[in-house]
Structure 1
């Protein structure tokens, strides 16, 4: 140990040579980390640590760490430690650094040889010894009429240590290490050296009476809290209490957000909620009338009380182990406090308090709000009791909602839940935060309920049976329903119904099951969606059901609405299988618009266009059933036709479609909401609860939830499941290489659009670049087919067209009949020119074809007609083309389900031959990349009987870049 002029007492490490008798000599050498390895034989792990620590407090090390300028030690200390101009903050930082390391060094020196260095630099001048045990300090205060005397006494092993006027040295301040004679003392309770330093050469300190108040409050009070104090002339009471944990929460609102109450206009006071309001939890411990924050250390707390002529100090002992256990308990309950505090989102904070309220009370916690908060929150017991009872045509709902002693009208709470408003003002002005789980557990119930006449008339339609059963199984409601209604849960339990005698045909087993399902929905007045694969006989199942309605005495007519192209097919099928049905074809310019004539018919066939035009007449008739075929026609709920069919009146509704979802989940809402109004809630509710989470967040939980709601009302069978008697279908993808001239055209356009699209995305974002993206993709797809589709002056060839013609000629030569689909009429025109040139007979159908039936019959019945060119959009549905056994898809469609529908023109009931399908894809083009993206992109769950989301809408910037790379 030696004393540095500026840095105080420091330590250095030395190696000292021994003489023949083992005594220390004057030969020595300084040891540092640089040369310590040379003496490793005589050093242990603690020695190496000591050497490292002593190195770190030498003046050169201090300069290097705290002063990055080149300067000599003398210049540094003269500048930094100058009394008048020195850097006080830097001195303090250096002092703290050295004190910390000295304390570490001293703790490691107990079994080492420690010396005080002589003035001549001799390291072994005077040996000093570290006391093996800690000494104790007792602080004395003697108050008399004029002043207070203050002094400490030190005891070691029960004996008083005389340290005053003994040239004692404070080696280290924090904590204190005191050298008296040749012995170094450390102290219990980590006494600060500054509390001993004034008394090294002074008996006591005198505090004048006029300074007493401040001195006792600022100095004596904290001293009593930490150390042992002997008092004379005033009292110290040691007090012991049973502690209690206190959780205080306070609202921390973002600046600029108003938290005032305002009148919402409905007569009810609502809360203007700060969207990003947070709640801060603070943990404290209450001992009697004293409260301590959990982040304040110290096993004792002292409060000074001034009496008439003296002072009383209350010293409260804290149970630190118990306090630590409380922190662990809260952590186990999900409240991870740091420094006694935690900040949570408001919703999350109140959900936590609601969830663990009973447990906190049982553990003797006090939970309260900061009294200084502007808003007063309710923190009492919250409950909701729900009972559901089956009535004739609906479920009656009985609800009791309580916040403490207040029972809240259910209708008021319902609006809050639906609007996702979290705060509700109670009659006493307190604000109740609606439990988070209510928004998930009851949101659908609140959304699906009928708008009531009064708060005691709450109803839910029976088609919400699945929701009611889930409330029951989740112990969220008491439910009373009939046994027969339970049968709707399992399709297998639906009873069998005889085929009507007037039905002239046979139903396959799965078709009979579909017929029974329709009967079951009819019995319970539910709407339904028959969503069987194309070609599985939705028409024949429906006709059998309509015949049964006639034979059971139905008096009102059924309106069956469809695309115009299907009218002929429905009329022919009805006359074939149900000849006793009285049928009216309500289309054409010369139709009689008098709806009274419907009384003379069983089945009215009409088109979507006709219904849209005649809605003002048609809505005056009350139909028995309204049936929509190819119901995706109303997939846009805001379209005129969707609005028109919703205005029609009927006892029952049924929809038929092979693709209830073509582009968006909203397609499903529009169709299901027609069949079962209210089943999926309002359009805005559905968008927020299902469409956005499913399409934007890929939320599998929401997909399953939606499926569970619609499951009883949708019947979906795939060919692979039910049509075992269909011949095999073999699907192929044919990859074609572009020709050199075609590839040159393609790369030129791709490069141009790539730059434009990426620049647009950079400036406007992906969402605002949709039009340009679609334009570029469409042009590239056309070039991948044949550049003639883009440039009528192109005189080169196309690799895909060469492959198509080769395979077409081969198929024709082997007497196959081929359907050729393209979404581009220009593509069909190129092929058409080839067939005309080769004098190949073919049928043709696109959107401009007037007589679709003639073209279908021409292909089906004429053995000479081997090829049918069909526009994908115009001929993807409603055609029965079982004469074909080959299907060519010339270009991939965004939605694979549309392609599947095209293939199903040939692969359907009645097909006797194996069906081969070929999809033609140009390699290294946007077509191939679209296929890969379709595979990699998450689709809506297959269980949701879906096809695919809107492809382009969900492309990311990275997806787009990969397409154009």
Structure 2
């Protein structure tokens, strides 16, 4: 259809007046024949290739089609009924402004596009070149001229199109729309940015409008003031001045209408204030001085305001209903939200003031300190102690940190300063120091900590003495070491194995012991042998650092300059008896350059000879039993590395084995195990104490500080603290992280906020359920109340999934459902395949209905499905079949669905085993794609609480596995917590 042209015609509508309409026309010899009126359905139903701006014009004009107007502005059954019953007043106030707004949008596109505009008589179907109307690309400019005399004020209005003045005359001008104004003038469509056509009408018949001075006070404070503000004005007989005022941006901390804290930004120009987003470009004030009127115009500097807004947005503030807030603050209680804002200003105020943004407070109950607050920490080492000197600076005030100890330990956020202002202690200080301060011993204005708290202190200390800082930097950057692999290694290391070697080498450089705790089968032996091969002694003696003090104890603070020249002795590897042969074979296979001696069995040489033969061997292999038996003789020999394989063998710190290996001397230590924790955290203490004696304190301290809080009370804070202390010394990679047989499996929990009235419905139902359950428990106890509790939990789960599952109204919404469907839409568009698992068939049916509406191809498998194999093969084989809805019970086993690379678990619950079975439908042998698993959890719901409970229950070395019956594990307190 290249012979057709897309045009817009200005034509007369029988009810609406002059309107734009889109047409396709075909050029004839002397005229253009109208082929058709273009409607939105024609955009894809014709051979004509519509351009983007042509499609935009069609959609804009469709907004005021008869059908759309009828639907938008009435309940009439037909278009004719709509227009027949349309009242003139309603039409002028409601319908006309809407149409004129749409027509102005059409004009704006015509001003910038090559689409031609014609004038078309409604009864004729042909167009002629002389019917074309030009559309200038610029808005017309109105200019008002006022002249005030002793008796009257008169004004005239002049219109300029570029530099040419338009003669205002009813004969030459036709009004197309009133507000904003569109005019037809000499075959041109003239557009105004904001002028109302009513202001033009008086000048169609006369040159001036005269106003008597008897009403000039009202006239000048109203019409003239608004005109000065909105248009270009020339004045005689009164003054218009540009106000010379300074400008400043003010960010004010105050409460909004809901009495919630927020930040309000204003731009102040002298006495004039503007808020961001306001359309006012100019503010005008009026004063009467010596019988004349004086207008002061304040013009906004939008470029400056834009720079301020960019600075505000760069700080992380988000606009919220005219004020500014910070992500996440809406989830806090009002008082905590206020503290959050105060601390934010503490941190950001220098940055804001540097950009010229002033900070102030309005209408708050207290005067909060919003200046900079800084905690300065310095530490020195004295023997086995850290001396920590800490001062907090609140602006001009310096407060010893020890004065804040009781505030931090008792969760008191407000601290009154000497000038009466209230400083808000940052949450970070509570998180960082609350668990630390109980371990410190006050001494004057400083605090002392034992040496084994070093890794616990590192996040809190900003400044340490030079020697300690150097030691610590070497430790934290140990895994950054990238030594060259030994050239005579007879193996190719995988990337994670090379990372393990680098990590062990970094610890060696720092004179520290480490625990290699990779899963079984990941090559721990090979990584260890690579390290020993790298460190194989040369024929001559080498210089090695002595990391021991005079008592033979490992000293973290030994000076780097204290070294001695010795011949590097052999390394001792202690293994279970069954592994001696394996180690020997691995050495011969991968590191044949290492000379080995097996100190095992009845044929072993006398232990007293070990110190004589170790210089001639690189490795001595022995067993735990041999060490126990020969300890009286072996303790006299010093080894280079002491390595314990299957180091859980020393988990019992009271055993002879543990005591024996602790008696052995070695410059460096390493333990290897796939299970550093088998039964209790005491297992970990034994191995870490062997590696770095005293690092975790003595066993009684460790039990008190960590074992009891973590194992008996699931204290996450203490768990985090322990992880911080051991992290530099333990390297653990699980098989599913590195195994090449399966593709990477990535899992994510997607938290979905509730939508619409879902939260209200949920809270109402939760309140009823909670009262019912508490009553049942009080009467019957937890076990006999299982049915009531399960019934309540199920009802809340249904509401969290979708209110209609719990028989709510049919128009109820679900935030989770919306998020699931949004992600499904993206996956279908990107041609992925997804498995959707649910334990509620009704939930799947709800999704199914929506999927069917979208006309997407899908499969479904539930307990009612009879032809399972056919359903499965259809999903696997049909490329456009991209969604498989599966009930958890029906699809947990017996499925191989490797075509899918996404798994949705849309209502996670207690037992992870069922979920893992579902995941394994896609993540199994034969899969060649990355598999992504999403668990959908509804925010502030029973699902979220269960998720947190699961995480807390499964904290100890993956030992805890949730059962199918959660009531075997759950307590009454936890049930009450679920329904809070």
Using structure 2 for the length normalisation, give the TM-score: 0.49
Higher relative contact order (CA 8 A, sep 6+): 1
Larger Rg, first or second structure (1 or 2) = 1
